[in-house]
Each structure stands twice: as structure tokens, then as C-alpha cells.
């Protein structure tokens, strides 16, 4: 007699293909057991979309902070290399993260479930493998804001207090773990890991695996490695174009933080620009401005060149022809980005179709902005469709250049421009001072500001007078914003 199959009541139906198919790409090990796991925030809406039973998840806090594991989980720490601020580290890897496994959603899509802040691994080097509550709530906030803004991103399922404190520069802080969901955790740095070790069979296996997981229509086709590269370029060009449209600054675009799925990954020192200034940098360690706002499209090309190099040993034919084929592709990335970015900007500006002077129209707007708040300028431009500039004007110290630009823009508007613009330009983004206020309160045990902010930023396009406090930039006494990573 065979027992009838009963799916787990949580809905977490594990099928751990990375572990099965890619030996050598990870280490098997368990997360640390949290002494007193307590869920701080559980993403019930996301759980529902993924076919998970939120009540069962809520009843099992140990799953999200180590200690106990859901049935079918087989935790591993992933190996990867990466260029960090341009310098190559042959071995990085998950130094404080455990991939519990992959589960299949109701539509058959495959999701990684990973814990971050869950303890040391052989990849930890000097780190403690832990995380403080603030940075994990920060990842939750920003990734959920990005999802609501329509940007491909890893998602946050839960943040769980471990019941253990961690030591940071700021002193003793509550320890926590974020449980995140991703289409995969395969990075440019994963390819670099095998390429630099000359492990060509493993590199090939990783490539075939990645194609099957992210571009299954390419499986078994001739020339699939280059076709896969093209897909990655396309996803990343569109992703960075979306970031630029929102004023999002990732802050640490190392090759180990660029996912082949095209999702935004690794919310460390990221933040949203307020006043438009192309050189904006928030991260305390980015002293040269390598990952400044306006450099992100250049880093896109730089990182993809590192991926291209990693693929060389897999490509058939003469080495010179391979290099030529890759160089042609690398040479077109800037143009691909610009096209994707123009699409984003046309939607933001409510333009009708596409015209050849749109690039100049956008460039001239940026020149006229002169430090005006990025988010509110676009949002309030929607008011200006019908000639009402009263809400826009106060954002500018000098409105003369805008005054000259507006008629050119109006000549290009789509019939329903204002509505289109209010759907493309958020009113509320995670404002830096609001994020800090919420995280400070959470450190003191008060989660009300966190939940209030979360409700606002996961509903970014709605108008409402009640939202003013969340829509405005930081008051001047907030000062220059500085962010930190790896905390
Ligand atoms: P990130 O800057 O978050 O992309 O991390 C870069 C590398 O540092 C990764 O290999 C992380 O696993 C590792 N790392 C960051 N913070 C810690 C920590 N507290 N303990 C151990 N490893 C860490
Ligand atoms: Mg990382």
C-alpha cells in the first residue's frame, strides 16, 4: 500500500534543484538556532501570492531564524566570487545566509527561500554571521517598496528577532534574520567563481542550470550561451533603467550583488535620491563615488563584461571570434540601456508614442532640474499638464529653465497624460528620514512607525492629503544622509 501524498500544510513544497544539480557550488550546513525566535513582521500578502499558509508560518517562528526547519528544507551556503569596488575577491560566498531550499508556487514557479543573518559559515571570514534588527527591517521596507513600484526584486517574507543581541559600532543591538524570496540567488559572481578556478565542467553545469531556470525556452538550442547572455543584458538594462527612473541608488553594485534573474538583490546601503544630483552617493564606504546615481548604467556594462569574460571558456569556436562576438554585445549595452531608460522616462513624462527628439527633451529637463526633488518633480508635473504649475514651482530655486521647457513637453503629451503620469510616478517613496525614524523606533521596541511607513510605501501611487508627511523630502536639519552595509 502506498501512502497518499499530503502536501505540507505550510504550502512550502520543497524541491532543492540547486543542491541536487550543482555539487561544488555550495556547502551544506545548518543555520544557528535562535534562542527565542519571535516574528516581528510577516508578509501575509506575499505568502498568499506564493501559495503559503500565513497562519502556519506565523506559528513556526523557528523556521525563519534557524532552530527548526520546515520539512524538506536542506540548508546550504552558496559559493561565489566577485569584484567589490573593482577589486576581485576569488571567494566570497554566503557569509551570513542560508538557502533553506526552493519551493514551487501555485503556478509552478520556483522560488528560493533564504535566511540572512542566520549564523557563520565557512565563507564568513571575519564576520559574525549575524544581523541587527534595523538593517533587516530596512531590507524588508525597501524591497517591498520596490515591488510595489513595479521593480523586479527579491521579496521579504518575514523578519524574526533571534532573542540574541549582536555587537555593532553603535553598541549592542537586537539580532534578527530576514527571510527572503528570490527567483534565484545566481549572481555574476557565481559564474566568476568557477571561471577563475578553471572548473569548466562546473561552469557549464551552472550555465545549463541557469538557462533552465530563467530562460527555459533556450534549453538545448544552438548558441544558447550567447542567447542567455543577451537575455541577462536585456533584464539588467531594463532593471537599471527602472532604478534610474525612481532615483534609486543601489550603493553596492558589486558583481556578487548582480542577479542573473534581473531582480534587484542585496539591500544594504541603498537609498533614494531626493534632490536631483547625478553624483549622489549615500554609502559610507563608496568614497570614490563608483556607485553614484549616474554611474549605475556604466557599472551595468562593467559588471556584464565580467560575466562575458566568465563565459569565454564555454563558447565554441576560435578564441578571437568569441571575443569579437562578446565585444559586439558589450559595445551595444550603453545603447540598450539608453533605449530602456527612454522608455521609462517617456512613461514618466506622459509622452505620446516615441519621437526622435525625446532624448534631448529628457536631457534638457534634467539640466533644468538643478537639485529639485526627483520624486515630487515628476509627480507634480502631472498637475502641470493642464497648465497648473503652482505645485511644481516651489520645488525649484530657479524656475526659468523649466518655464522654457514646459511648452516643448506639452507639445508631446499623450491624450491621457496626467493619469498615465500618476500611475508611473510615485507620490510616496521610502524617504530617508522616515526610514531612519522607523528603524530607530524599532530598535527601541516600537514598531508602530515601521508599520505605518510600510503601509505608505507599499501603496506608492495613491493621492491623498493624509500622505503629505510621507511624501515630502527630509527637513534640512536631517543633514547629509549616510548609509552602511554589512551590518
Ligand atoms: P554584501 O556587502 O552584503 O554583499 O556582502 C559581501 C560579503 O560579506 C558576502 O560574502 C557576505 O556574506 C559577507 N558578510 C556581510 N556581512 C557579514 C557578517 N556580519 N558576517 C559574515 N559575513 C558577512
Ligand atoms: Mg551580497
Mean pLDDT by 10 residues, the chain (487 residues): 72 97 98 97 98 97 94 98 98 98 96 98 96 98 98 98 94 96 98 98 98 98 98 98 99 98 97 98 96 98 98 96 97 98 98 97 97 98 96 97 97 97 98 98 96 98 92 95 82
Residue 354: Cβ within 10 Å count: 11
Question: Quick one: which atom of ligand 1 is closest to the CA of 121?
Answer: 21
* Ligand 1 binding pocket includes 266 (Cβ within 6 Å): yes
Order of all β-strands in the sheet with 76-78? 26-28, 76-78, 97-104, 110-116, 171-182, 155-168, 38-42
Burial of 309 (0-12, 13-18, 19+ CB in 10 A): middle
* Ligand 1 binding pocket includes 128 (Cβ within 6 Å): yes
Where are the chain's structural domains? 17-185, 189-341
pLDDT 10s digits, 87-117: 999 999 999 999 999 999 999 999 999 999 9
Whole-number pLDDT of residue 3: 61
Whose C-alpha lies nearest to ligand 1, atom 14?
95
Whole-number pLDDT of residue 170: 84
Q: Which of 32, 94, 215, 256 is labelled catalytic?
A: 256
* Ligand 1 binding pocket includes 485 (Cβ within 6 Å): yes
Number of residues assigned to the chain: 487
Question: Quick one: which atom of ligand 1 is closest to the CA of 123?
Answer: 10
Whole-number pLDDT of residue 57: 98
> How many A from CA of 220 to the centre of ligand 2?
31
* Ligand 1 binding pocket includes 189 (Cβ within 6 Å): no
Neighbours of ion ligand 2 (CB under 5 A): 257, 266
Whole-number pLDDT of residue 260: 98
> How many A from CA of 257 to the centre of ligand 2?
5
* 256 part of the active site: yes
Whose C-alpha lies nearest to ligand 1, atom 15?
486
Whole-number pLDDT of residue 113: 98
CA of 154, nearest ligand number: 2
pTM above threshold 0.95: yes
Whole-number pLDDT of residue 487: 65
Gap between the Cα atoms of 330 and 324, Å rounded: 10
Whole-number pLDDT of residue 437: 98
> How many A from CA of 266 to the centre of ligand 2?
5
Where b means 16+ CB within 10 Å and e means fewer, 426-443 reads: bbbbbbbbbbbbbbebbe
Whole-number pLDDT of residue 66: 87
Amino acid at each position: 500500500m502506498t501512502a497518499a501524498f499530503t502536501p505540507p500544510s505550510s504550502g512550502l513544497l520543497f524541491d532543492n534543484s540547486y543542491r541536487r544539480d550543482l555539487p561544488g557550488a555550495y556547502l551544506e550546513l545548518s543555520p544557528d538556532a535562535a534562542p527565542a525566535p519571535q516574528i516581528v513582521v510577516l508578509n501575509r500578502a506575499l505568502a498568499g501570492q506564493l501559495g503559503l499558509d500565513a497562519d502556519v508560518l506565523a506559528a513556526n517562528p523557528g523556521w525563519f531564524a534557524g532552530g527548526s526547519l520546515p520539512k524538506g528544507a536542506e540548508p546550504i551556503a552558496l559559493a561565489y566570487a566577485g569584484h567589490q569596488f573593482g577589486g576581485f575577491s576569488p571567494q566570497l560566498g554566503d557569509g551570513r545566509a542560508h538557502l533553506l531550499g526552493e519551493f514551487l508556487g501555485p503556478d509552478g514557479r520556483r522560488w528560493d527561500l533564504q535566511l540572512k543573518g542566520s549564523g557563520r559559515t565557512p565563507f564568513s571570514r571575519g564576520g559574525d554571521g549575524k544581523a541587527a534588527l534595523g538593517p533587516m527591517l530596512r531590507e524588508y521596507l525597501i524591497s517591498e517598496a520596490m515591488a510595489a513600484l513595479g521593480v523586479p526584486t527579491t521579496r521579504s517574507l518575514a523578519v524574526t528577532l533571534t532573542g540574541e543581541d549582536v555587537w555593532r559600532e553603535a553598541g549592542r543591538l537586537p539580532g534578527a534574520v530576514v527571510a527572503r524570496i528570490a527567483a534565484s540567488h545566481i549572481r555574476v559572481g557565481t559564474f566568476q567563481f568557477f571561471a577563475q578556478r578553471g572548473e569548466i565542467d562546473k561552469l557549464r553545469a551552472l550555465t545549463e542550470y541557469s538557462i533552465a531556470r530563467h530562460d527555459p525556452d533556450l534549453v538545448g538550442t544552438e548558441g544558447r550561451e550567447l542567447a542567455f547572455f543577451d537575455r541577462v543584458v536585456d533584464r539588467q538594462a531594463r532593471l537599471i533603467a527602472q532604478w534610474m527612473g525612481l532615483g534609486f541608488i543601489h550603493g553596492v553594485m558589486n558583481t556578487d550583488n548582480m542577479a542573473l534573474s534581473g531582480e534587484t538583490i542585496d539591500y544594504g546601503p541603498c537609498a533614494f535620491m531626493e534632490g536631483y544630483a547625478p553624483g549622489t552617493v549615500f554609502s559610507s564606504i563608496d568614497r570614490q563615488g563608483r556607485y553614484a546615481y549616474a554611474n549605475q548604467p556604466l557599472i551595468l556594462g562593467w559588471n556584464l563584461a565580467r560575466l562575458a569574460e566568465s563565459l569565454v571558456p564555454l563558447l565554441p569556436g576560435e578564441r578571437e571570434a568569441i571575443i569579437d562576438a562578446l565585444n559586439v554585445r558589450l559595445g551595444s549595452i550603453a545603447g540598450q540601456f539608453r533605449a530602456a531608460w527612454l522608455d521609462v522616462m517617456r512613461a514618466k513624462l506622459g509622452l505620446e508614442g516615441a519621437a526622435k527628439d525625446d532624448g534631448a527633451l529628457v536631457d534638457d529637463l534634467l539640466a533644468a532640474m538643478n537639485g529639485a526633488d526627483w520624486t515630487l518633480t515628476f509627480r507634480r508635473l502631472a498637475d502641470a499638464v493642464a497648465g497648473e504649475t503652482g505645485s511644481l514651482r516651489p520645488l525649484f530655486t530657479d524656475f526659468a529653465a523649466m518655464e522654457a521647457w514646459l511648452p516643448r513637453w506639452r507639445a508631446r503629451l499623450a491624450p491621457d497624460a496626467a493619469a498615465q503620469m500618476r500611475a508611473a510616478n510615485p507620490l510616496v517613496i521610502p524617504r530617508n528620514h522616515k526610514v531612519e525614524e522607523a528603524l530607530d523606533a524599532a530598535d527601541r521596541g516600537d514598531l508602530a512607525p515601521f508599520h505605518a511607513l510600510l503601509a505608505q510605501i507599499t501603496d506608492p501611487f495613491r493621492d491623498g492629503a493624509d500622505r503629505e508627511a510621507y511624501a515630502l523630502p527630509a527637513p534640512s536639519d536631517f543633514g547629509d544622509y549616510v548609509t552602511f552595509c554589512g551590518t
